[in-house]
Amino acid sequence: MIRRRALYPLGNFLACVLFAATAAGQVSAAEPPAASNPLEAVIGLESKVPAEARTAAALGTKRQGSGVVIDDAGLVLTIGYLILEAESIELSVGGSRRVSADVLAYDHETGLGLVRASRPLDVEPIPIGSSGPLVRGRQVVVASAGGLRAAIGAYVVSRRDFAGWWEYLLEKAIFTAPAHPHFGGAALIDGDGRLVGVGSLMVPDAAEENEPLTGNMFVPIDALKPILADLIAEGRAARPSRPWLGLYPQEIHGRLFVTRVPRGGPADRAGLKPGDLVLGVAGKAVSTLPGYYRALWGLGPAGVEVPLSVLRGNRPTDIKIRSIDRMNWFTKPPTY
């Protein structure tokens, strides 16, 4: 467990956020009033994952981070990898009160997850804002569980697509700096005291790709809005699942090298190996992660057959892979 410490002082900006949160008379009637102290809605989250889980080796069996209370009935929003394949969830409220919770939903496309506390948390929820206005230079607060000592002032340093090697592409991701060390599930709060993003990663190139500036990447809250009702009702978004191959590439100098192939996954069964070079999808040349993902997902929903052109050594070859729904890959597929 990472030891918590006092972070960068927030200065006048946090005071402005807290003032705005209490200035109900200045809030538009079309918007919900801000919480009296939005930092209180950010709570601790700890999950335990079975050792045999598919994600245990990469993400660990004990995962710790933050969650954000978003309703009066104990609904907590967090980043999905903290709760993926979890067998138990415990929330920490106010630094000392412990409350068990159940996994309610997970959405791979956004990376977001929801848990429901087993009893009321007696925490005022933070209102959901809009991530659309967050442009470069906008000042924000990044808060993990722990109140004022676990919050820092930061700036939005870029808005751009983020592609991860784990078959993940997030459009209009929010990048901030300076970096918060406890980013997993952290709340991104705007100047009106509203939630505008959920913490996902620490990245070395927050401002621009391949330009050194350590910062954080956040999932925009606007990505949650169209699917929130589905997640609460069904545990997943009501859209076709994307095809998943279990083929994890890395973009190096305009080429896509396969770096990892999970054992027993579709790509492994088709004979893909680390070191192979992906040249194209269904006859379309690809050289970037976003281009590869869009070509792959453009073929149809999970279950579609995916023709890949690959280079192994100096020998080009064509391979067909039958894709699956990633949710069915887990050792214990979720019941939701």
- What pLDDT was estimated at residue 143? 98
Averaged over successive runs of 10 residues, the pLDDT of the chain (336 residues) comes to 40 52 41 73 98 95 98 97 97 92 97 96 96 97 97 97 96 98 98 97 91 95 98 96 96 93 95 96 96 98 98 92 95 71
Torsion of CA 199, 201, 203, 209, to 10 degrees: -80
Question: What pLDDT, on a 0 to 100 scale, did the predictor assign at position 35?
Answer: 59
Q: What is the pLDDT of residue 33?
A: 56
Location of structure tokens 């848990």: 115
Query: What is the model's pLDDT at position 208?
Result: 85
Q: Quickly count: other Cβ atoms within 10 Å of residue 93's Cβ.
A: 18
- In the chain, residues under CATH classification 2.30.42.10 are 248-329
The whole-angstrom distance between residue 336's C-alpha and the CA centroid of its chain comes to 19
Q: Which of 224, 215, 194 is nearest to 112 (CA)?
A: 224
User: What is the model's pLDDT at position 95?
Assistant: 75
> Domain 248-329 belongs to what topology?
Pdz3 Domain (2.30.42)
Whole-angstrom distance, CA of residue 195 vs CA of residue 42: 10
Query: What is the pLDDT at residue 31?
Result: 54
Give CATH 2.40.10.120 domain extents, the chain: 1-238
CATH code of domain 1-238:
2.40.10.120
Range list of β-strands (E), 80-214:
88-93, 97-107, 112-117, 139-143, 151-164, 168-177, 187-189, 195-203
Query: Amino acid identity, residue 242?
Result: R
Give the separation between CA 245 and CA 332, rounded to whole angstroms. Answer: 18
Cβ 160 vs Cβ 173: under 8 Å: yes
Start-to-end CA distance of the chain, whole Å, equals 30
What pLDDT does 28 receive? 41
Please name the helix (run of DSSP H) or strand (run of DSSP E) that holds residue 229, with its range, or none: helix 228-234
